[in-house]
Amino acid sequence: MAKIKFPFTLGVASGEPAPDGVMLWTRLAPDPLNGGGMPASSFDVRWEVAEDEAFGRLTASGTARAQPAGAHSVHVKVAGLRPSSVYFYRFRVDGHTSRVGRTKTAPAAGSTAPVRIAVASCQRYEHGYFTALKHLAAEQPDVVLHLGDYIYEYGKPAAPAPGRYVRPLKDSTAACTTLNAYRERYALYRLDPDLQAAHAAAPWLTIPDDHEVVNNYQGKTGDAKRRRAAYQANYEHLPYRVKPGGDAMQFYRWRPFGKVADLLLADVRQYRTPGDMLGPAQTTWLLDRLTTSAARWTVLAQPLFFAPRNPPSADAWDAFPASRAKILQAAPDDLVVLSGDVHNAWAGELDRGVEFVATAVSSAPPAVRDDALERNPHLRFFDGHRGYLVAHASMEEFTVDYRTVAYVDRPGAPVSTAASFRAVGNKLVRIDL
């Protein structure tokens, strides 16, 4: 007889694709919104990887230990896989079998195969349905970049704004500050079928912004206990290769995709000081990577609006002009910056390269002045819908499609393409649809 109820309620995920392997993730949580519902003991979880969805012949398998201290999450490092290859994976424990996930390894170092990268950010549960992620899942990109605000820590507002509070949190929900509260918030999000589908469709690379901890947090100025709880819960719910160390976790990293693209993920929160967005160690790392990258496209993926804006923003790169200038000086002439955070879609031309700003998956947008593009001639595109981006990188070109959904206040919105652009040096060329 099974000792536990069906534990794979939060689905499966993969991430950190390398040419020879990926990370696989799941969590045992029969009662995810009430502490997880697992006994206070460890469980051995079997994992299986195959090239066919029916698991006719296993490519790799093993067991991984799910422990109470990690909320019974499982992080499996799979190696020995072939580059640029699709694999399917699943987990088993105590007579239960998880859903099947699809993943893909990164191209080999010398590969010139094109890469399809989906970009998402800002998925506030209360503000809407994750329909954009359902459409993203259907595209089966090679990799999904999530650029922050994967959860929002807020409690239920005293007076929810009409039309912006379509999926209520529990009445008693306070802002997350404790490990249990953050865990339950991730569980709430991961029960969403569209978010589960997006994780089960492709490997993800995530970089947190502020709301994974607390609104507008920066550097070590905040509450170390809260930061520790937030990073621990973030780690427990995503397929990272690295573990948090107390109130710190190294999120910045380089992920190469053959000769086509170097993805550089930067952390704009944890090391911030009044004069420096990235902190000394990360800055040294990034400038070194920018100057030595040999890939056709050097892609800087990070949460915040990078291009200058009129009027300037106090919580984005405008407040750190020296940090931004250093990056642009080290970058190739056709740097590609990917960002999120602002809940609307934008595209802009930089001194060296271009920027594509992904809109929110569901978070409500701020008001934007009618003359925003006029006042910012280097910004070439604005769209006020929710959605995501799909970038196509090849040795010949880098193009981006702006996918949008018409509404998020109810499920079922169709997806359409609002615009497509090609990056040419530091110019954006609009592609006729």
Cβ 343 to Fe ion shortest distance, Å: 6
Q: Tell me the three state secondary structure of residue 41.
A: coil
The interface partner of residue 401, options being Fe ion, Ca ion, none and the CB cut-off 5 to 8 Å by kind, is none
Cβ 211 to Ca ion shortest distance, Å: 6
The interface partner of residue 194, options being Fe ion, Ca ion, none and the CB cut-off 5 to 8 Å by kind, is none
For Fe ion, the binding residues in 28-57 under the rule CB under 5 A are none
Question: What's the chain's length in residues?
Answer: 433
Q: How is the beta sheet containing 398-405 ordered, strand by strand?
A: 73-78, 21-27, 12-18, 204-206, 143-146, 115-120, 386-393, 398-405, 415-424, 427-431
The interface partner of residue 123, options being Fe ion, Ca ion, none and the CB cut-off 5 to 8 Å by kind, is none
Cβ 210 to Ca ion shortest distance, Å: 5
CB nearer to Ca ion: pick between 214 and 413: 214
For Fe ion, the binding residues in 315-374 under the rule CB under 5 A are 363
Does 122 engage in binding with Fe ion (CB under 5 A)? Answer: yes
CB nearer to Ca ion: pick between 148 and 353: 148
Q: Tell me the three state secondary structure of residue 16.
A: strand
Q: What is the token pair recorded at 300?
A: 């800087």
Q: What is d(CA 331, CA 323) in angstroms, rounded to the nearest whole number?
A: 12
Cβ 154 to Fe ion shortest distance, Å: 11
- Longest CA–CA span in the chain (Å) reads 68
CB nearer to Fe ion: pick between 233 and 364: 364
CB nearer to Ca ion: pick between 126 and 210: 210
Cβ 157 to Fe ion shortest distance, Å: 16
Question: How many residues line the site for Fe ion (CB under 5 A)?
Answer: 3
The interface partner of residue 184, options being Fe ion, Ca ion, none and the CB cut-off 5 to 8 Å by kind, is none
Positions that interact with Ca ion (CB under 5 A)? 149, 209-210, 341
CB nearer to Ca ion: pick between 140 and 216: 216
- Per DSSP, 128 falls in state -
Q: Tell me the three state secondary structure of residue 205.
A: strand
CB nearer to Ca ion: pick between 210 and 236: 210
**C-alpha pair distances (Å), 194 with each of 128, 229, 265, 300, 361:** 12, 26, 24, 27, 11
Cβ 147 to Ca ion shortest distance, Å: 9
Residues whose CB falls within 8 Å of the CB of residue 394, separated by 6 or more in sequence, listed in order: 112, 114, 115, 260, 296
Contact 406, 414 (CB under 8 A): yes
Cβ 37 to Ca ion shortest distance, Å: 31
CB nearer to Fe ion: pick between 341 and 401: 341
Contact 231, 247 (CB under 8 A): yes
CB nearer to Ca ion: pick between 105 and 339: 339
189, containing H or E segment:
helix 179-190
Q: What is d(CA 214, CA 212) in angstroms, rounded to the nearest whole number?
A: 6
Cβ 209 to Ca ion shortest distance, Å: 4
Segment near Fe ion (CB under 5 A); pick from 116-124, 132-140, 170-178, 227-235: 116-124
The interface partner of residue 334, options being Ca ion, Fe ion, none and the CB cut-off 5 to 8 Å by kind, is none
Q: What is d(CA 78, CA 20) in angstroms, rounded to the nearest whole number?
A: 8
The region, left, alpha or beta by phi > 0 then psi within -120 to 50, assigned to residue 343 is left
Q: In the complex, which residues of this chain contact Fe ion (CB under 5 A)?
A: 122, 149, 363
